[in-house]
Amino acid sequence: MAVTGMNGSAFAQDGQADLAADVGAFLKFGVHRCGAPGERATAQWLAGRLGALGYQVTTQAFPVRTYVDPSGSLIAGDLKTDAFPQWRAPAAALGRPVTGPLRPLSQATPGCIAVAEKLLPAGAYWTRQQDLALAAHAAGAAALVIGFDEPTDQIFTCNQESDTELPLPVAEVRKSAQAAALAKVGDQATLLLKGTLTDTHGLYIAAHKPGEGEAIVLSTPLTGWFTCGAERGPGIALMLKLARDLATTKRPVWLLATGAHELGHRGMRLALKAQPLPAPEATAVWVHLGAGIAAEALDAPYGLHSQHALTIAADLEPKVGSLFPAARWMRVPPKPDAPGEGGDVIAAGYTRIVGMAGGFPGFHTPNDDGSAIDFTKLAAIGDGLSGFLTRL
């Protein structure tokens, strides 16, 4: 029986159908922000699935500070657009309107709402953007509005490692809204950023089965700022497939699904310290299933060629490299600055790694509903990784 996927297409092959069903189940839990109900529901569902396969499962909570229901708006005359508070907004600014004239950032004046003149690259992490916030603050601006070069023209937000407040409120808007704000320089505007700063808990799941010989470790993040259909869905679905395929292998198998990815990879870093994982020298391979695996289905409509990163140990390239064509997958050496949580894994000494991560149209936006996933390619990666791991 055919099963309908995220983009409305039908799947005749069971492998694709199973992956699509798992992504669909993941999507039903809603927003997957750390500390949100979607994270907890996903963790409970995933733990149940892994337990049913015979793995010994623990779910570990850890303290985290995050937003509850973040949102916002920017209004200037006939411009009325949604905004999102970049983490971490000053607590005193949340829920309090900021009113002032719109000014280009390079001409910011005290009390204004500064607007960055250029679109920022849609990179996953808040790094060099901090320089813009510091410049706006130094000029006395009351707030900063930024937009990212995100192809679907949706609000894009960044992961942030630091828990320190930004020097002023930073509002992310669609790139078209940023252009509209720049066209209204001098007009009075009101920016309202909302959200409740809350001390709550995040989660990570650790599952394992005993065995003989060197271990296999699989990991994937659980969370992100929004629904994360194509960002997290493929990794979750592949973990379930590989866990099923490895349930009868003679080797020990460990699985980690980690929360607070968007807040400095906190769940992964805690799991690496707290869990009795096999030592690096006793680990045959660590497969990290990061963001956007096989998220290529929207490339053609947007005229793009999304670039993905494959972090891979040199001796593993001949064994699995063919699953990741070089035209799409940029090779990254296994170093601590590798993309995503794979870098944390390597920093902990696990250099025999196959790690995947990438962006796509709709990445880190509220509209990531999974339609970017190419399930034919996702199934091929899953089958290839399964064959590699079961033959170890």
Radius of gyration from C-alpha coordinates of the chain? 22
Reported as a single tens digit per residue, the pLDDT across 215-266 is 999 999 999 999 999 999 999 999 999 999 999 999 999 999 999 999 999 9
What is the percentage of the chain residues whose pLDDT exceeds 90?
95
Q: Is the pLDDT of residue 1 over 50?
A: no
Residue 47 pLDDT more than 50?
A: yes
**In whole numbers, what is the pLDDT of the chain averaged over residues?**
95
What pLDDT shows up at residue 13? 67
Q: What is the mean pLDDT of residues 329-356?
A: 97
Q: What is the pLDDT of residues 105-159, one digit of tens each?
A: 999 999 999 999 999 999 999 999 999 999 999 999 999 999 999 999 999 999 9
Confidence of residue 15 (pLDDT cuts 50, 70, 90): confident
All domains in the chain, ordered by first residue: 3-65+200-391 (3.40.630.10), 67-195 (3.50.30.30)
Q: Which of 11-20, 64-73, 296-305, 335-344 has the lowest mean pLDDT?
A: 11-20
Residue 3 has pLDDT above 50, yes or no: no
Query: Which pLDDT does position 14 carry in this prediction?
Result: 73
Please measure the distance between the N-terminal and C-terminal CA atoms of the chain and give it in whole angstroms.
33
Is 90 exceeded by the pLDDT of residue 307? no
pLDDT, mean of residues 196-224: 97
Label residue 14 exposed, middle or buried (CB < 10 Å: 0-12, 13-18, 19+). Answer: exposed
Please state, in angstroms and rounded to a whole number, the distance separating the CA atoms of residues 232 and 240. Answer: 13
Closest CA to 156 of 169, 144, 173, 168: 173
Q: Is the pLDDT of residue 316 over 50?
A: yes
User: 8 pLDDT band (50/70/90 cuts)?
Assistant: very low
CB 246 within 8 A of CB 210: no
pLDDT score at 332: 96
DSSP state of 367: T
At 12 the pLDDT is 43
Distance of CA 113 to the CA centre of its chain: 29
Above 80 in pLDDT, residue 365?
yes
pLDDT at 214 over 90: yes
For residue 93, report the phi and psi dihedrals to the nearest 5 degrees: -85, -20
pLDDT (tens digit, 9 = 90+) per residue, 264-304?
999 999 999 999 999 999 999 999 999 999 999 999 999 99
**Would you place residue 6 in the very low, low, confident or very high pLDDT band (cuts 50, 70, 90)?**
low
323 band by pLDDT with thresholds 50, 70 and 90: very high
The Cα–Cα gap between 369 and 152 comes to: 12
Q: What is the 3-state secondary structure (H, E, C) of 257-271?
A: EECCCCCCCHHHHHH
In this structure, how many other beta carbons lie within 10 angstroms of the beta carbon of residue 215? 21
Q: Is pLDDT of 312 > 60?
A: yes
pLDDT of residue 165 exceeding 80: yes
pTM: 0.95
